[in-house]
Amino acid sequence: MNLQVFLVLAAALFAAGLYGALSQQSIVMIMMGLELMINAVLVGAVAFWYYAWPQQADGQFLVLLAMVVMAIEMAMGFAATIAIFRARDVDMTDLAADLKG
């Protein structure tokens, strides 16, 4: 497999995530679309670093660190979504519009 295959895969994942984030009203589905877009960027970055500099693991370590931060961020986002749902019984973005500060 070559670099172009991985970049096309990353572009397809990003497009699917963008469609999912823009077409849904459920907060959880929007967060899943955002997660898919971030994973697409990470797939592209890992593939690029692997094919550009295969001897160095700097890029892969940076992407691994980004994945850890992303997992923590998504866990906190889901916790906030669950707290909003339990407090107000709201799971759609239109109904949670009054949360703007």
Looking at residue 92, the DSSP 8-state letter turns out to be B
- Contact between 12 and 44 under an 8 Å Cβ cutoff? The reply is no
Contacts of 22 (CB under 8 A, 6+ apart): 33
Q: Could you identify the residue written with the tokens 């931060």? A: 69
What fold is seen in the domain 3-89?
Answer: Helix Hairpins (1.10.287)
**Tens-of-pLDDT digits for all 101 residues of the chain?**
899 999 999 999 999 999 999 998 888 888 889 989 999 999 998 888 888 888 887 777 888 888 898 889 889 888 888 888 888 777 676 666 666 65
Query: According to the model, what pLDDT value does residue 91 have?
Result: 66
Query: According to the model, what pLDDT value does residue 24 have?
Result: 86
Query: According to the model, what pLDDT value does residue 83 have?
Result: 83
Q: Which residues pair with 92 in a beta bridge?
A: 26
In the chain, domain spans = 3-89
Cα atoms found within 13 Å of the Cα of residue 37, Cβ hemisphere only = 13
From the number of C-beta atoms within 10 Å of its C-beta (0-12, 13-18, 19+), residue 40 rates as: buried
